[in-house]
Amino acid sequence: MKFGIASRPRHGCKYNGDTVLIKEFDSKVLISMIDGLGHGEFAAVASSRCKKCIEEHYESGFSEIFRNCDLELRKTNGVVMGMMFIDFEQSSITYAGVGNISARLLGTKPVHFISRDGIVGYRLPKIREYKHPYINGDTILLYSDGISSRVVKYSASMILKQDVQATADEILKLYGKDEDDATVIVAR
């Protein structure tokens, strides 16, 4: 799988509270998008602690990962987080998200995944997983709320056709909000 990642902090801010973690193992990949609540250093601390916690538990399943992160982040601002798990042997993609993270599958059978309301580290909802087929060439799009919802207007056929890094860079440039940390992952 090829990954395009584009991320930058809120305008004028040194710390980026958005973090990405990609873990490839066996014929699987786990992709996480983490957005530390608020801005600046405290947001960055929460998301980097969350990332470390996922790294320690990445093989244990979504519910377990979210639960561990929730415990780990109790003394922080908390984060919102979306996780995708693609199993290439089973040709499946599974998503679970908490808070304002957007996740889409483009290609054979497009899916707009649903994230549940809540905050990891403060108010964790029951984790719900959504599983769909993943066909070679399908492209995933994962982004934080620093990317404007107008991004849905960006042509899906372009996303499927263009280089993943070029697409991530362009989406960040066109739809990144100045007042928030902004991150987009494009992968296929």
Helix, strand, coil percentages in the chain from 3-state DSSP, rounded to 5: 30, 35, 35
Of 44-52, 70-78, 138-146, 151-159, the segment contacting Mn ion by CB under 5 A is 138-146
Task: Spell out the residues 6+ positions from residue 82 whose beta carbon is closer than 8 angstroms to its own.
Answer: 32, 33, 95, 96, 97, 98, 101, 102, 103, 113, 115, 142
Cβ distance to Mn ion smaller for residue 29 or 119: 119
Q: Which is nearer to Mn ion, 97 or 146 (CB)?
A: 146
Selected binder of Mn ion within 70, 72, 138, 145 (CB under 5 A): 145
CB atoms within 10 A of CB 168: 25
Q: How many C-beta neighbours within 10 Å does residue 7 have?
A: 20
The full length of the chain comes to 188
Shortest separation between residue 128's beta carbon and Mn ion, angstroms: 22
- Of 9, 21, 35, 186, the one binding Mn ion (CB under 5 A) is 35
Q: Pick from 34, 180, 186, 188 the residue near Mn ion by CB under 5 A.
A: 180
**The one segment of 33-41, 48-56, 81-89, 117-125 that binds Mn ion by CB under 5 A:** 33-41
Amino acid found at 140: I
**Only segment of 26-34, 68-76, 122-130, 172-180 that touches Mn ion (CB under 5 A):** 172-180
